[in-house]
Structure 1
Amino acid sequence: MLLPPSEQPLCVSSQPPLSGVIVLLLAAACGLSVANVYYSAPLLDQIARDFHVAPSMIGSAITATQIGYGFGLLAVVPLGDLLPSRRLILWQGVAASISVAGVALAPSFVFLLISLFAVGLLSVLVQTLVAYAANRAAPTERGRVVGQVTSGVVIGILCARIIAGALTDLIDWRAVYAVSSVLTVVMAVTLTAVLPKQEAPEAQLSYLALIRSTLSLYRDMPILRGRGVMAFLIFAMFNALWAPLVLPLSAPPFSLPHTEIGLFGFAGLTGALGAGRAGAWADHGYARRTTILCFLLAVVSWVFIAGLPFSIWSLIIGVLLLDFAIQAIHVTSQSLILANARGVGSRIVGAYMAFYSLGSAIGAVLSTMIYAYAGWIGVSLFGGLLGLVGFFIAASRKSENRQQGEG
């Protein structure tokens, strides 16, 4: 049976702390890998036309990816505590590259959904890298390192929209996945070459015991449960914005091409990078205050986002505020749950991010359905409600202690 993190023996790495170059490379790899999950969002209208899918159902493309991601978080990410990192990164990267190629070659919508499920399942390489970085970072710098690596994730998510839009306008939506398939395998080989060669597995468990120990974390870590609910809400908000956004922007009166729609990712990127110090705020004891204020900021952001039918600038301001709030809460949460990981970092990250995947899937499918029946105002009310629920949950929780892991 898995002991709570506070009772587990401390695993001290014999390897030196991560250098700035390695942290930067891990952040870049995270961005490239997670982009595979999000390329489809700005391409939904093109995919729907190619496969003759109704607008109210096209959100299932994102949902299939997120369901796969959720399975991967609980079935693949825990392997980071069992297998050497270099080996795990290599096979995950190669397999992810093959699944991305499957999307590019999809002959039918059903085949596309299956391929996107596989993309999600294997793109959890991102969380393997985050857990690796947290495990190797010095305790006093863990929040900062996690924040820097996680910033690469958000950059990848947002730049995916820019790249996907540009390549689709220049060539075709399938070209996005063809190029990414090549880049993904190059990334995996590069990481395998530069990461330390001597790494011993941190857990001596069978695979089934490893999965059971992952599920037991929900029972043993109150802070994981609490922060997981917040992850569900913030990523439901994230996809409530980005999944249906291409639909009003590509239609009259805007009728924007995919390249210009993708540029809205810059607004989100600016906001997300502005939250890069959230991990340091958590290191200094401001986790609860940061979370409460950022949920409130998220609610305010939806007021601006609701102005889309009348003003593009209102949308830009809202995107900037929302992505700042989401990234700050996410980095704060990961800093807290990984504060005393002690050899179970991959399992904790997988268990936490399962909430993210569920929230992303539900946010994507519900927001596209709401848009089909209630327009952009309906989507904005949905997003604002999610933020309001998060605000009340965060405000009602007692102070979170990084040392004891209580929530």
Structure 2
Amino acid sequence: MPNTLLATPAPPTTRLSGGLVWLLALACGLVVANIYYNQPLLAAIGRSFGVSDSRASLVATATQVGYTLGMLLLVPLGDKLERKRFILWLLGGAAACLAGAALAPTFWVLAGASVLIGLCSAVPQLLLPMAAHLAPEADRGRIVGRIMSGLLLGILLSRTVSGFVAAHLGGWRTVFGGAAGLMLALGALLAWQLPRSYPSFRGSYRELMGSLLTLGRELPDLRRSALVGASVFASFSVFWTTLVFYLESPTYHYGADVAGLFGLVGAAGALAASLAGRAADERGPRFAILMGVALALAGYLVLGLGGGWLVGLVIGVLLLDVGVQAAHISNQTLVFSLRPEARSRLNTVYMTGYFTGGSLGSVVGGWAWMHYGWPGVCVAGGSFVLLALAVHLGYRRSDT
């Protein structure tokens, strides 16, 4: 293994105060929202450009592909570059790309801007390793869970906000324009409050990227977490990519604003983040992962059997979101504990797998909806959860 990979991490020079934790949670939530604003808007975007539901869903896929590329190509630099300056540059890029999406003259320009929005919105995956570095070891799961609560609220409430704005305050273009302004405001706040962070990696970018393969090869826990995370997030994306189409179908006759309101139901998943982090500290992350996967599976059972009734849909969303987020937080707590000197790169490997699964889930969800309707969506999403369960249990057997 190269010496640069074994370098001792610099000790924290900034105390992780309660105020700083909440600032990091806010920043993660506002930035990650950029990836999910489009989901309740897909039907409206399709009508605006005269494209089918299946093609409109490519906007969600393009954003997730861009986010995956950002995690793969940019997040490893968090172990090499001064993080604060790097984060501020990415926020500026996100603001510019969101403005481009708001002004997009064609569907394919919007799709291209969506890739770049995802690319520049990898900021939370730089902030989380920073927080893990600053946090005391005994409280790492709890602090990561608290910051992830902000991130998850951003994911879920972004749908509520975008659905409401699109329906009542000017349409889908207003959503992207407002998000661009938020990124500029957040950049100013972080420039004032975010501490500087100087990683210890001294190798080249080529060596940095090569070390990702080394980490994946040498750490079976990292491989397992990436596979379980990818499968669970694929199931999550299957549901959220297709929900707006289901709600606008003859079963419900609802619009984008109601689809966005389901984000409020799913916001309970953010509460599960802190609980999952605490459980990972006390019972171990593998136990918390198993509980999360089991809840997600129960959610799809409810959605498949009772999704035609509003109460069944709400209960299914609640179980799915709590389960997915609990599994995700527990996975990240495990991953951050593996190699302290390489947390940004560990996060890169895990989150690249995670969002690769999300991109796959968006594609599969759109295809399942077009060909098999809601039953096909539930079978596809439930199959991804079963895959996560098989990987997790199979790993535990091979480790005993």
**So what's the TM-score if we normalise by structure 2?**
0.95
Give secondary structure in 1 for the equivalent of 2:55: coil
Give the Cα–Cα distance (whole angstroms) in 1 for the partners of residues 257 and 235 of structure 2: 23
Q: Displacement, 1:341? A: 3.0
Deviates more, 1:182-191 or 1:322-331: 182-191
Asked if 2 retains the 8 angstrom alpha-carbon contact of 1:17 and 1:138, the reply is no
Give secondary structure in 2 for the equivalent of 1:200: coil
Tell me the alpha carbon deviations over residues 136-183 of structure 1, each in whole angstroms, 9 at most, x when there is no partner: 111111111111111111111101100000100111100000000010
Deviates more, 1:253-262 or 1:62-71: 253-262
Check 1:389–1:190 CA distance in 2 against 1; reply closer, same or farther (3 A cut). Answer: same
Asked if 1 retains the 8 angstrom alpha-carbon contact of 2:8 and 2:200, the reply is no
Asked if 2 retains the 8 angstrom alpha-carbon contact of 1:64 and 1:116, the reply is yes
Residue equivalent to 1:173: 172
Residue equivalent to 1:185: 184
Residue equivalent to 1:22: 20
1:35 to 29, 33, 36: 33
**Greater per-residue helix proportion:** 2
Give the Cα–Cα distance (whole angstroms) in 2 for the partners of residues 130 and 399 of structure 1: 30
Deviates more, 1:260-269 or 1:275-284: 275-284
Residue equivalent to 1:83: 81
Asked if 1 retains the 8 angstrom alpha-carbon contact of 2:10 and 2:200, the reply is no
1:47 to 37, 45, 53: 45
Residue equivalent to 2:209: 211
Give the Cα–Cα distance (whole angstroms) in 1 for the partners of residues 342 and 307 of structure 2: 47
Check 1:74–1:310 CA distance in 2 against 1; reply closer, same or farther (3 A cut). Answer: closer
Q: Displacement, 1:399? A: 8.1
Give secondary structure in 1 for the equivalent of 2:340: coil
Residue equivalent to 1:66: 64
Amino acid at match of 2:272: G
Amino acid at match of 2:236: F
Residue equivalent to 2:245: 247
Residue equivalent to 2:379: 381
Give the Cα–Cα distance (whole angstroms) in 2 for the partners of residues 78 and 328 of structure 1: 25
Q: Displacement, 1:14? A: 4.2
Give the Cα–Cα distance (whole angstroms) in 2 for the partners of residues 287 and 223 of structure 1: 11
Q: Displacement, 1:253? A: 3.9
Q: Displacement, 1:12? A: 4.2
Tell me the alpha carbon deviations over residues 34-72 of structure 1, each in whole angstroms, 9 at most, x when there is no partner: 000011111110111111111222221111111111111
Asked if 2 retains the 8 angstrom alpha-carbon contact of 1:104 and 1:178, the reply is yes
Amino acid at match of 1:379: V
1:367 to 365, 368, 391: 365
Give the Cα–Cα distance (whole angstroms) in 1 for the partners of residues 334 and 4 of structure 2: 15
Give the Cα–Cα distance (whole angstroms) in 1 for the partners of residues 140 and 319 of structure 2: 26
Residue equivalent to 1:196: 195
Show structure 1 runs of 4+ deviating over 3 A: 1-5
Residue equivalent to 1:97: 95
Check 1:108–1:70 CA distance in 2 against 1; reply closer, same or farther (3 A cut). Answer: same
2:287 to 289, 309, 313: 289
Give the Cα–Cα distance (whole angstroms) in 2 for the partners of residues 148 and 3 of structure 1: 34
Give secondary structure in 2 for the equivalent of 1:32: helix
Give the Cα–Cα distance (whole angstroms) in 2 for the partners of residues 55 and 14 of structure 1: 49
How many residues get paired?
A: 399
Residue equivalent to 1:126: 124
Give the Cα–Cα distance (whole angstroms) in 2 for the partners of residues 37 and 227 of structure 1: 22
Give the Cα–Cα distance (whole angstroms) in 1 for the partners of residues 356 and 12 of structure 2: 37
Q: Displacement, 1:284? A: 2.1
Q: Displacement, 1:310? A: 2.6
Tell me the alpha carbon deviations over residues 273-299 of structure 1, each in whole angstroms, 9 at most, x when there is no partner: 134221121122432222223222211
Check 1:321–1:11 CA distance in 2 against 1; reply closer, same or farther (3 A cut). Answer: same
Percent identity between the two aligned chains: 36
Give secondary structure in 2 for the equivalent of 1:277: helix
Amino acid at match of 2:258: E
Q: Displacement, 1:312? A: 0.7
Deviates more, 1:199-208 or 1:61-70: 199-208
- Whether 2:251 is the aligned partner of 1:274: answer no
Unpaired stretches in structure 2, ≥5 consecutive residues: none
